[in-house]
């Protein structure tokens, strides 16, 4: 924020210009018995109904009756922001209709003569989002209503607010057009990788996986976290260790077990191919680089020739989408070892396998370079947006007009007109 305010601007607190309030929680039993499949009512919006692209899914099947006097309402054209959980500070949308909403969402209802879109864009700025801190796990933590309400806001005259919003939207439209092209390229790179893998494994010499190696599943000492079994010196891999990045190798385990835990799981040597076999992220292969134990959400391929390890890795990488489709619709997708053993792999000579791996990696290197360029472009686009917002809320994006009514007069009028308690409930 600037040291000296621009002409006709003034300093205030967020609560001076907005009614700020959270919504109401509904448990699953209430949702099913009272508020699902009603013919009419306010659409109820939860955190999951807001996308990171700032869209709202209004047709989620949950409605609150119009005559319900308990639920808070966000008017049309209201910014809704998630302020709790992993999406805190990141999920934001602008309502297109009156809605009821969840208790982890916060409505910012502008008071008289404040531009709603000015507030909406301020909520996207680093100046605002910096109040959401990272916790010890690197996740964004929530923030209290009192902290938001007491946040300082630099307020321009109403007419300048309108000019700022108009300029932001024009600049953002140009940036968003470029972002769409980058995202399209991103999707094409992903499709290219799949095409490379598909072509690599179209051979006719098919052999059952169970005929070329042993497939075993890990084990999980229970109860989970028990000091009898856990926090020792023996690495213990979980599914998250395999799915946290796109690297072909796994170099470390977040968890560990004690010798007593070995009776509940199994140990494999370094250079063993692993495959996640349960949950939404099943079908992810990884080559471990150290001796380790692993849980029952992971399968291991034993007695596999180390010379064709990468060939098998890329084969399973090509099968990820297919593997997930096997259990599509299941509450907890799961691949048992028999399913894995029965899958057939094209198995040419060792020299041909190595040639195929070399060709895959050559093409993937090109794809990686392209993807890095795309990601750099997306990062620059976001930085450019933040630069625009920083200028906007420092009074440097559009010129000041000395004929505009000063924001201080506007603020005094707002305070006089809003002496009643914060709004938010249906009258």
Q: What is the pLDDT of residues 382-413, one digit of tens each?
A: 999 999 999 999 999 999 999 999 999 999 99
- What separation in angstroms does the CA of 110 have from each of 279, 354, 418, 423, 427? 43, 64, 11, 11, 18
Q: What is the pLDDT of residues 311-325, one digit of tens each?
A: 999 999 999 999 988
pLDDT for res 138: 46
43: closest CA among 17, 19, 71, 15? 71
Is pLDDT of 3 > 70? no
Q: At what angle do helices 350-392 and 309-326 cross, to 10 degrees?
A: 60
Q: What is the mean pLDDT of residues 179-195?
A: 97
Average pLDDT, the chain: 92
Give pTM, 2 decimals: 0.80
pLDDT for res 140: 54
Q: Where on the phi/psi map is residue 366: left (φ > 0), alpha (ψ -120 to 50), or beta?
A: alpha
Q: Label residue 136 by pLDDT band (50, 70, 90).
A: very low
pLDDT for res 2: 52
Is pLDDT of 290 > 60? yes
Residues of the chain with CATH 3.90.220.20: 10-157+401-417, 206-347
Is pLDDT of 331 > 60? no
What residues contact residue 302 under an 8 Å CB cut-off, 6+ apart? 213, 214, 215, 216, 268, 272
Is pLDDT of 419 > 80? no
pLDDT for res 279: 85
Distance (Å, rounded) from C-alpha 32 to C-alpha 17? 37
CATH superfamily ID and name for 10-157+401-417: DNA methylase specificity domains (3.90.220.20)
Quote the percentage of the chain above a pLDDT of 70.
93
Q: What is the mean pLDDT of residues 260-265?
A: 94
Distance (Å, rounded) from C-alpha 261 to C-alpha 273? 22
Q: Label residue 169 by pLDDT band (50, 70, 90).
A: very high
Distance (Å, rounded) from C-alpha 397 to C-alpha 52? 26
- Fold entry, domain 206-347: Adenine-n6-DNA-methyltransferase TaqI; Chain A, domain 2 (3.90.220)
Q: What is the pLDDT of residues 41-64, one digit of tens each?
A: 999 999 999 999 999 999 999 999
């Amino acid at each position: 924020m600037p040291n000296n305010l621009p002409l006709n601007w003034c300093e205030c607190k967020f609560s001076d210009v907005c009614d700020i309030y959270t919504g109401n929680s509904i448990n699953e039993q209430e949702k099913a018995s009272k508020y699902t499949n009603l013919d009419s009512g306010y659409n109820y919006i939860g955190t999951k109904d807001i996308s990171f692209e700032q869209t709202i899914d209004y047709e989620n099947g949950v409605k609150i009756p119009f005559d319900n006097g308990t639920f808070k309402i966000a008017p049309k054209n209201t910014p809704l922001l998630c302020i709790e959980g992993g999406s805190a500070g990141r999920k934001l949308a602008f309502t297109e209709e009156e809605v009821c909403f969840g208790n982890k969402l916060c409505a910012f209802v502008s008071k008289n003569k404040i531009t709603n879109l000015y507030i909406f864009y301020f909520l996207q700025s680093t100046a605002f989002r910096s109040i959401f801190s990272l916790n010890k796990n690197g996740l964004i933590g929530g923030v209290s209503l009192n902290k938001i309400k007491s946040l300082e806001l630099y307020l321009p005259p109403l007419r300048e607010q309108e000019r700022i919003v108009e300029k932001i939207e024009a600049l953002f439209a140009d940036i968003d057009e470029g972002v769409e092209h980058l995202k399209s390229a991103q999707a094409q790179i992903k499709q290219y990788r799949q095409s490379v893998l598909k072509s690599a494994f179209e051979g006719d010499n098919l052999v059952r996986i169970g005929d070329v190696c042993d497939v075993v599943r890990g084990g999980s000492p229970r109860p989970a976290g028990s000091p009898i079994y856990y926090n020792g010196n023996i690495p213990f891999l979980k599914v998250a260790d395999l799915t946290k990045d796109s690297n072909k190798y796994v170099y470390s385990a977040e968890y560990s077990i004690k010798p007593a835990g070995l009776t509940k799981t199994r140990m494999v040597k370094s250079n063993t191919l692993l495959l996640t076999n349960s949950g939404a992220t099943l079908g992810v292969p990884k080559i471990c680089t150290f001796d380790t134990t692993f849980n029952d959400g992971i399968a291991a391929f034993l007695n596999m020739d180390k010379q064709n390890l990468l060939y098998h890795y890329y084969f399973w990488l090509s099968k990820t989408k297919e593997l997930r489709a096997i259990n599509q619709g299941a509450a907890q997708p799961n691949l048992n070892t028999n399913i894995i053993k029965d899958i057939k792999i094209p198995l040419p000579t060792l020299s041909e396998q190595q040639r195929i791996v070399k060709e895959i990696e050559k093409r993937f290197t090109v794809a990686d370079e392209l993807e890095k360029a795309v990601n750099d472009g997306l990062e620059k686009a976001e930085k450019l947006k933040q630069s625009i917002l920083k200028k906007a809320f420092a009074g440097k994006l559009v010129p000041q007009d000395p004929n505009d009514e000063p924001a201080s007069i506007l603020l005094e009028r707002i305070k006089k007109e809003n002496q009643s308690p914060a709004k938010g409930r249906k009258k």
